[in-house]
């Protein structure tokens, strides 16, 4: 999954793809590099980020989704917590809703996803909100507690008429977790997969890599790739990354060694 942020303030690439033309060009570049899915977001969810007004988020994402869905056949995901943004993005061509709140922040999101029966759902774990999530997050057992959260979410969504086969689980690396928690989550991927749903990890360029390697955000490619390969070895289902070509090439080389 290639990341396409159309925001001025995302932690890694904010402002790089602010115009529709620049965003579409970058999205097509990610497809050429080997992305299987494009994840488009118009609201930064970095720690401390402030919410974006509905009209502004729609203005950022809908034209980009419409144009990319015209120019490419690969699935497009809308990264949003707002049901109306999801609704208009689906109308423009998005096939997946990626909600960092686990479909909790907007009470209309679950009914929308129940209504849109052909749309995939990425359900993420977060502790708090982007404004509060990194204020001393604590867990007794982070993997167990995330697993319990997903069990509750899966039951709630199925009770609302959403087929569990449509759902991918994202444990939310960097969302209400310390660097130690994040490493425990990464190692816990096989445990989370026992819930019977695919697991997505979004670790690309995140701050905990700085804790490991002492690297600024624009120097975290190789830390990201190393973690991607470790996750591939654990059997992760989806990787959400900024640097698609480096990830795809590394995975091809890793598979060549693994498979002989």
Torsion 117-173-68-83 (CA) sign: positive
C-alpha 199/C-alpha 109 separation (Å) is: 21
Which residues are bridge partners to 40 per DSSP?
A: 4, 78
Torsion 142-144-146-149 (CA) sign: negative
Q: What is the chain's Cα-based Rg?
A: 17
The answer to whether residue 240 is catalytic is yes
Give the closest residue to 205 by CA, choosing from 23, 5, 31, 48. 5
C-alpha 256/C-alpha 131 separation (Å) is: 43
For 42-68, give the DSSP string.
Answer: SS--STTPPPPPHHHHHHHHHHHHHHH
Buried b (16+ CB within 10 A) or exposed e, 161-175: ebeeebbbbbbbbbb
Q: What is the end-to-end Cα distance of the chain in Å, rounded?
A: 26
Indicate which residue of 82, 166, 177, 206 is catalytic: 206
Indicate which residue of 59, 240, 245, 255 is catalytic: 240
Which residues have a catalytic role annotated? Answer: 206, 240
């Amino acid at each position: 999954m290639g990341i396409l942020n159309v925001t001025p303030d995302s932690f890694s690439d904010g402002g790089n793809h602010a115009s529709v033309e620049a965003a579409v060009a970058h999205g097509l570049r990610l497809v050429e590099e080997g992305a299987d899915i494009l994840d488009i977001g118009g609201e930064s969810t970095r720690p401390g980020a402030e919410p974006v007004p509905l009209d502004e988020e729609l203005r950022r994402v809908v034209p980009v989704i419409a144009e990319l869905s015209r120019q490419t056949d690969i699935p497009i995901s809308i990264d949003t917590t707002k049901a109306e943004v999801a609704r208009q993005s689906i109308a423009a061509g998005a096939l997946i809703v990626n909600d960092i709140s686990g479909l909790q922040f907007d009470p209309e999101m679950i009914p929308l996803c129940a209504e849109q029966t052909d749309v995939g759902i990425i359900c993420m774990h977060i502790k708090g909100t982007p404004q509060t999530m990194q204020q001393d997050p604590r867990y007794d057992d982070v993997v167990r507690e995330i697993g319990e959260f997903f069990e509750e979410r899966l039951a709630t969504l199925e009770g609302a008429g959403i087929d569990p086969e449509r759902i991918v689980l994202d444990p939310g690396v960097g969302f209400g977790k310390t660097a130690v928690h994040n490493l425990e989550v990464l190692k816990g991927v096989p445990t989370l997969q026992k819930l019977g749903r695919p697991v997505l990890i979004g670790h690309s360029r995140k701050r905990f890599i700085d804790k490991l390697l002492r690297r600024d955000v624009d120097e975290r490619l190789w830390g990201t790739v190393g973690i991607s390969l470790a996750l591939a070895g654990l059997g992760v289902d989806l990787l959400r990354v900024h640097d698609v070509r480096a990830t795809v090439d590394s995975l091809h080389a890793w598979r060549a060694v693994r498979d002989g």
